[in-house]
Amino acid sequence: MRKDCAAMVLAGGQGSRLGVLTKKLAKPAIPFGGKYRLIDFTLSNCYHSGIDTVGVLTQYQPLELHSYIGSGSHWDLDRMKGGVYILPPFVQASGGIWYAGTAHAIYQNMSFIEQFNPAYLLVLSGDHIYKMDYSLMLDFHKASQADATIAVIQVPRKEARRFGIMNTAPDGRIVEFEEKPKVPKNNLASMGVYIFTLDVLKRYLEQDDKDSASSHDFGKNVIPAMLAGGQKMMAYRFDGYWKDVGTLESLWEANMDLLSDTPGLDLHDAKWRISSTNPSWPPHLVMDTGKIVRSLVSVGCRIAGEVNHSVLFSGVKVGRGAVVRNSVVMPDAEIGPGAYVDKAIIGPGAVVGPGSMIGGETTANQEEVKVTVLGERVAIPAKEVVSSGSILE
Amino acid sequence: MKNVLGIINLHEHEELLSTLTGHRPLAALPFGGRFRLIDFILSNMVNSGIHTVGVLTKHRFRSLIDHLRSGKEWDLARKQDGLFILPPPDHIHYSNSIYKGDLEFFYNNLDFIRKSSQEYILIAGSQIVCNINFNDAFRFHLERGADITLLYKTERPQPGRTFTMATLLNLDEDGRVADMEIKPGQIAGGNIGMEMLIVAKTRLVEIIQDCVARGQFDFTKEGIIRNLRRYRIYAYPYSGYMARIDSVQSFYRANLDLLKPEIWESLFSQDEPIYTKVRDEAPAQYCEDAAVRNSLVANGCIIEGRVENSLLFRGVRIARGAVVRDSIIMQDSIIQSNATLDNVICDKEVCISSGKRLSGDANFVMVIDKRRVV
């Protein structure tokens, strides 16, 4: 059963800078945007791009991620031939080994990939927020007869040093790759979206596996080796919204990005729906005393207080007289009557007691106020004050 | 309840709902912001442990089949058992055929009933909105040694509420049905039948065959009422919240009932949820000028205007300056800027253009039919 292109999604990362939120949760499973988890974007992109064979490489705290993906039916990826496969590390006759790096994870699953014998392999990250048609990138890869194509996006100059930067010739050919350069020559950042001609990739993965000095990473080892080997490497420009949320601040910010009346990432686009599980809640209820502006509110919420510039996941309760501003409130959390929450991430099932104050520091420059975070199921008693920037677990 | 087969009987009185059921069976009528009526009985059956359900269709069932498809959303897409669509007899499609009654349709699907591995059958319509677990009623049926157990609720009169073509039960002290009638007009209350009954399979097959052999085709009148002396027919009292959808007015009222938090919570428990076909919609988006209170809002809505005492189904747009009060706006309808709606039901995909003012009355709500542009 030969496929033209199969995808491998790297979903084993810990996302250690997300702290309390990723203590028991792999980063791709982090809730985002009022109903999604990060991996929904990548899986929905695969579906819309016509890619029906997707391996998901998991390793760190995979329980919730595995049960979330299930048979893949939520993304229409439960297929007779192909579909979604969860690929954690496994034990072989020679012993068991963890995935040492992104390239190693793919190499360990070469026999999975060979079942479908695709001509091209799409390598993706499971924790980026964007809507992208990979089939257009595959067309570009084929047309330019490249050995590898790397999707790039323009980032602000001053942030370029946080990314892998591609230096390209005028025809789009990559001449140099610098991982997190101190002095970037360019602002074209790698999005962690790669298409490889599989035969070529296989050769480099074999070499890389034998190299004991390698950290077995695409960005650090395999891409530079392919460049050094003279392979044809192309940069593919992407202009849409793309975000890699590495920190609690950037996760908060990406949620806030959705709240403008015309957000960069349109979640209402009927032609490119982002699929996810849909909990069996009824529509949310705005009570007589409720007030909601500039916000996203999901099913099952009961709102008796004021919600301003916030993202509310399913089943959230906001009591009478409570105020929730500039915040992200994850599933089934409860904001008690009269509580005040400002610039915070409230984890799943967390409870803010009546009259408590979470965050809400006021200074001359509001942007400098740090995000306050309550981890999963943290309970704050009544009339407590949790100062801005606190992270509670 | 794995020994019970569910049959959803779509032969229901929908005369007073014709503006909403012109192109769909009552069972497919949208309700509560994201559901269709059939979701309630289907979920109740599944939550009670029933895993084989037949849907006895009548007519115009395209939208219903589209909604149900494999039955997966109700956990009824099974290798064995699961969801079965029971089609009408072939001659129903000819223009000179006369509708005789639901028993003809049961008779046409007798093989399905006989072949099922369950010994008991729960037959129910779709017009009752409630969250009920049938285990107690089933136990009651077995304890009484009943041939048939009907479910009912004692409803006291409430201002503005009537029941149309309702089944009214008269019980003796023991809970046995002494008399039963289908009230042609409207009544204010009493022991209202829930159009749900439990019967042993062998007894059901007997009733169907006896009736059809005598040219009788009305299940309730001829299968039950005529047999009140012959069989032990009992009634099980239900006491939770219920709404009976039998007129436009009762449909309107039952939807607005959901704005009461205690009813919302009793109907939509997380332990026994109401399942429905899902659609991948973003959470509802409230813009800068949104002003919403006492309303139920589904995912996919974008709200820039004012909404009060109303229900918005999935994907509804309320533009800037628009005002929606005491109204029900179904899926994908658009209310353009500065339009004002009072006591209106907009069916699916309706568009109300800028500046229009539409108003019905609390006792006579205005219905805008599907895909109408006003």
> B69 touching A, CB under 8 A?
no
Res A1 pLDDT > 70: no
Reference A310, options A273, A359, A277; nearest CA is: A359
Find, in chain B, the residue whose alpha carbon is nearest to that of A288: B294
Q: How far is B89 from chain A (nearest CA, A)?
A: 35
Q: What is the nearest CA distance from A299 to chain B, expressed in angstroms? A: 7
**Per-residue confidence (pLDDT) for residue A365, from 0 to 100:** 79
Whether A290 and B293 lie within 8 Å, measured CB to CB = yes
Rounded CA gap, A117 and A122, in Å? 13
Q: DSSP for B140-190, please give it.
A: HHHHHT-SEEEEEEEE---TT--EES-EEEEE-TTSBEEEEEE-SSEE--E
Phi, psi of A114 (to 5 degrees): -65, -25
The complex scores an ipTM of 0.93
Number of CB atoms found within 10 A of residue B40's CB: 28
Q: Which domains are seen in chain B, by residue range?
A: 4-267 (3.90.550.10), 285-368 (2.160.10.10)
Q: What is the pLDDT of residues A58-81, one digit of tens each?
A: 998 899 999 999 999 999 999 988
Q: What is the pLDDT of residue B64?
A: 93
Beta strands per DSSP E along A126-184: 128-130, 148-154, 164-168, 174-179
Which pLDDT does position B15 carry in this prediction?
A: 80
- This prediction has a pTM of 0.93
Distance (Å, rounded) from C-alpha B180 to C-alpha B165? 13
What element of type H or E holds B159? none
Task: Identify the band that residue B244 occupies on the pLDDT scale cut at 50, 70 and 90.
Answer: very high
State whether A298 and B299 contact (CB < 8 Å). yes
Which residues are CB-contacts of A114 (< 8 A; sequence separation ≥ 6)?
none
CB B259 within 8 A of CB B178: no
- Residue A213 and residue A62: Cα distance in Å, rounded? 28
- Reduced 3-state DSSP string for chain A: CCCCEEEEEECCCCCHHHHHHHCCCCHHHCEECCCEECHHHHHHHHHHCCCCEEEEECCCCCHHHHHHHCCCHHHCCCCCCCEEEEECCCEECCEECCCCCHHHHHHHCHHHHHHHCCCEEEEEECCEEECCCHHHHHHHHHHCCCCEEEEEEECCHHHHHHCEEEEECCCCEEEEEEECCCCCCCCEEEEEEEEEEHHHHHHHHHHHHHCCCCCCCHHHHHHHHHHHCCCCEEEEECCCCEEECCCHHHHHHHHHHCCCCCCCCCCCCCCCCCCCCCCCCCCEEECCCCEEECEEECCCCEECCEEECCEECCCCEECCCCEEECCEECCCCEECCCCEEECEEECCCCEECCCCEEECCCCCCHHHCCCEEECCCCEECCCCEECCCCEEC
pLDDT for the residue B93: 65
User: What average pLDDT does this structure show over A183-205?
Assistant: 95
Asked if the Cβ–Cβ distance from B289 to A35 is below 8 Å, we say: no
Q: Which residue of B has its CA nearest to A285?
A: B296
Lowest mean pLDDT among A11-15, A214-218, B128-132, B262-266: A11-15
Q: Which residues pair with A176 in a beta bridge?
A: A167
